[in-house]
């Protein structure tokens, strides 16, 4: 831990960020039938400086070229995380419509016309439920319309049809407020949709990779018993070839677009701590980084060489926190996800882990 959790232990502890979900989810969905998909929208109420880092071999994305630090557009209005594979990118049109109706976007003329900027990324969840049911522009609009500081986690939004190895995946979140240092008081948060081909738990202990035996008690867990471990081994492997973990890591520290890129890069370290293997050719792992810039940084305690950015020590602290909150957000997604379409949740497969 690089600091204390924020009040909600959530991405929305970063002031100015809201999260909304919309899902199509039938209680009797199964593999190949019923509805089991959705989308999640992170709304930046006043815009946010943004960047992205794509590490997986099979990404599905929108507007990621725009986020290159050398490119002109500096701020985004929202980020879409969605199911439905490439089809699900259509949900971004609905998010744009919601933003346009509220006058949010790049101002284009004196008549109030705007162009909202909405990058996005997808997970592959099409085999969970009916292949033909995937997020639409209306779903993106509805998700943006529910954006709030309080939001559900687990098998909701873009996590409705997510799988995490052999377990049910979902949406998870975490945050931290940095202690004394170059970024003191800054908040760093993450929201992740966990749908990896890799395993999210240690086959030797049954604990999530992002927890480990030393920290189990802090999560309210213990090492599962032998019977639960044997049952997990009998499930075999995930059995699908297209996957992906996507998310947003954000801070209220004022960072440049290039600095946000470093935060996104660091966030992937947290992904690799909680998922093994990560960044495979079968995943499209993508993390967006946002800076709302609402928390002023303290004056640097140590003078840096003139060639170094003045905020470099603060960026280093934010990057360390980014890896931590991404890892914890993935664990949160696994522990809060509930069974869908016969895919068991962590609590279903390891009930003895909660006998504490």
CA-nearest of 55, 106, 105, 59 to 81 is 59
pLDDT digit string (tens) for the chain, length 356 residues: 467 898 999 999 999 999 999 999 999 998 889 999 999 999 999 999 999 999 999 999 999 999 999 999 999 999 999 999 999 999 999 999 999 999 999 999 999 999 999 999 999 999 999 999 999 999 999 999 999 999 999 999 999 999 999 999 999 999 999 999 999 999 999 999 999 999 999 999 999 999 988 899 999 999 999 999 999 988 877 766 668 999 999 999 999 999 999 999 999 999 999 999 999 898 999 999 999 999 998 877 666 666 566 578 899 999 999 999 999 999 999 999 999 999 999 999 999 999 75
Q: What residues are paired with 114 via a beta bridge?
A: 107
Q: What pLDDT, on the 0 to 100 scale, is given for residue 304?
A: 65
* DSSP H/E element including 335: helix 312-336
What pLDDT does residue 212 have? 85
Q: How is 211-227 classified by DSSP, letter by letter?
A: THHHHGGGGT--PPPHH
User: Which backbone phi and psi does 266 adopt, to 5 degrees?
Assistant: -65, -35
Return the C-alpha torsion angle 8, 14, 17, 19, nearest 10.
Answer: -30
Gap between the Cα atoms of 81 and 65, Å rounded:
17
| Cβ pair 60, 122 in contact under 8 A | yes
Q: How is residue 40 written in tokens?
A: 């999640």
CB 37 within 8 A of CB 125: yes
Burial class (CB in 10 A: 0-12, 13-18, 19+), 72: exposed
Cis peptide before 339 (omega within 30 of 0): no
Distance (Å, whole) CA 87 – CA 96 = 16
- In this prediction, residue 215 carries a pLDDT of 92
The CA-CA-CA angle for residues 335, 336, 339, to 5°, reads: 100
DSSP 263-308: HHHHHHHHHHHHSBS-S-TT---EEEEEE---SPPPPPSSPPPTTS
Amino acid 327: pLDDT: 98
Torsion sign over Cα 197, 203, 207, 213 = negative
Strand partners, 249: 190, 289
DSSP secondary structure letter of residue 68:
S
For residue 236, the model assigns a pLDDT of 78
Please state, in angstroms and rounded to a whole number, the distance separating the CA atoms of residues 180 and 175: 17
Q: Can you count the helices (H) and strands (E) in the chain? A: 7, 14
Phi, psi of 222 (to 5 degrees): -140, 170
Cβ atoms of 125 and 195 closer than 8 Å: yes
The answer to whether 63 and 109 have CB atoms below 8 angstroms apart is no
Q: Please report the pLDDT score of residue 241 as a whole number.
A: 65
Q: Which domains does the chain have, with CATH numbers?
A: 3-298+306-351 (3.60.70.12)
If residue 8 lies in a helix (H) or strand (E), which one and from where to where?
Answer: none
**pLDDT for position 160:** 97
Q: Is 16 left (phi over 0), alpha (psi -120 to 50) or beta?
A: left
Strands 75-82 and 120-122: parallel
Cα 173 to Cα 189: distance, rounded to the nearest angstrom: 7
Q: Looking at residue 297, what is its pLDDT?
A: 85
Residues 6+ apart with CB under 8 A from 102: none
């Amino acid at each position: 831990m690089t600091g204390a959790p924020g009040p909600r232990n959530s991405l929305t502890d970063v002031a100015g960020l809201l999260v909304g979900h919309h899902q199509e989810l039938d209680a009797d969905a199964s593999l190949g039938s019923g509805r089991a998909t959705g989308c999640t929208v992170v709304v930046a109420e006043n815009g946010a400086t943004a960047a992205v880092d794509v590490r997986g071999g099979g990404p599905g994305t929108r507007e990621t070229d725009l986020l290159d630090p050398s490119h002109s557009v500096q701020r985004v209005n929202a980020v879409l995380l969605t199911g439905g594979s490439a089809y699900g990118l259509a949900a971004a049109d609905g998010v744009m419509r919601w933003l346009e109706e509220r006058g949010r976007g790049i101002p284009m003329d004196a008549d109030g016309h705007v162009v909202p900027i909405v990058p996005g990324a997808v997970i592959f969840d099409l085999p969970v439920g009916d292949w033909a049911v995937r997020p639409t522009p209306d779903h993106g609009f509805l998700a943006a319309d529910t954006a709030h500081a309080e939001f559900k986690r687990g098998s909701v939004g873009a996590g409705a049809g997510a799988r995490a190895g052999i377990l049910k995946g979902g949406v998870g979140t975490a945050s931290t407020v940095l202690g004394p240092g170059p970024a003191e008081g800054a908040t760093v948060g993450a929201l992740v949709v966990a749908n990896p081909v890799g395993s999210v738990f240690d086959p030797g202990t049954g604990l999530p990779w992002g927890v480990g035996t030393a920290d189990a008690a802090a999560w309210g867990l213990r090492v599962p018993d032998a019977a639960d471990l044997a049952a997990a081994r009998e499930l075999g492997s995930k059995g699908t070839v297209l996957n992906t973990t996507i998310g947003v890591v954000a801070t209220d520290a004022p960072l440049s677009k290039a600095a946000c890129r470093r935060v996104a890069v660091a966030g992937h370290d947290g992904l690799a701590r909680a998922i093994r293997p990560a960044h495979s050719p079968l995943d499209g792992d993508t993390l967006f980084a946002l800076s709302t810039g609402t928390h002023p940084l303290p004056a640097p305690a140590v003078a840096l060489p003139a060639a170094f950015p003045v905020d470099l020590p603060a960026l280093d602290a934010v990057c360390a926190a980014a890896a931590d909150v991404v890892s914890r957000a993935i664990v949160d997604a696994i522990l809060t996800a509930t069974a869908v379409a016969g895919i068991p949740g962590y609590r279903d497969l390891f009930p003895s882990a909660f006998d504490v």
